[in-house]
Amino acid sequence: MDDKIRFLILSLDGEGFAIPITSLLEITVPRNIQKDQKLSEIFEGKLDYRGKMIPVVNLKKVLKLPGNPGGALIVVKSSKGVLGLLVDSAKELLETALKPVPMPRGVLNPSLNYYAGILRNREDLVVLLNEDGLLP
């Protein structure tokens, strides 16, 4: 059985995070993001994506990480619609037969819904993002 799943590994503040390829629509550079005062602080603004306005989230603000919004824009589909994620960079594709491990208990408040688990990428552990839980 060859049940490999593929993930995009992205970088935030020097650490790896993952998004399933099945949710990925596009990797691009952040450009023409329109500020919108009505959106909350975690949003960088809105973007015209193939003729439709989508919200752009600064992932570092969501995860309370320091630094600038980042130099790569990742467009993903989620249960709450298409959204753009600002990250430091898109690093590589990971193809693995290992299933993600759930986040161990006692690490963070169980009401936080940002993570789907932990993945192994060679020697490193990568936090798998839950794209459906990133929007408030």
Which of 52, 122 has the CB closer to another protein? 122
- In 37-56, which positions are buried (b, 16+ CB within 10 angstroms) versus exposed (e)? eeeeebbbbbbebeeeebbb
Give 54 or 70: the residue with its C-beta nearer to another protein.
70
Least Cα distance to 61 among 110, 126, 106, 13 occurs for 13
| Interface of this chain with another protein, residues 99 to 128, rule: CB under 8 A | 101, 103-110, 112, 114-115, 118, 120, 124-125, 127
3-state secondary structure of 104: coil
Round to whole Å and give the CA distance between 62 and 44: 11
Q: Which positions from 7 through 46 interact with another protein, judged by CB under 8 A?
A: 12-13, 15
Question: For residue 133, which phi and psi values (nearest 5 degrees)?
Answer: -105, 5
Give yes or no for residue 63 binding another protein (CB under 8 A): yes
Nearer to another protein, 67 or 81 (CB): 67
Contact between residue 8 and residue 93 where contact means Cβ atoms under 8 Å apart? yes
Nearest residue (CB) to another protein, 49 versus 133: 133
Rounded-to-integer distance, Cα 125 and Cα 32, Å = 34
Stretch that binds another protein, among 2-10, 24-32, 59-67, 76-84 (CB under 8 A): 59-67
Q: Contact positions toward another protein, by CB under 8 A?
A: 12-13, 15, 63-66, 101, 103-110, 112, 114-115, 118, 120, 124-125, 127
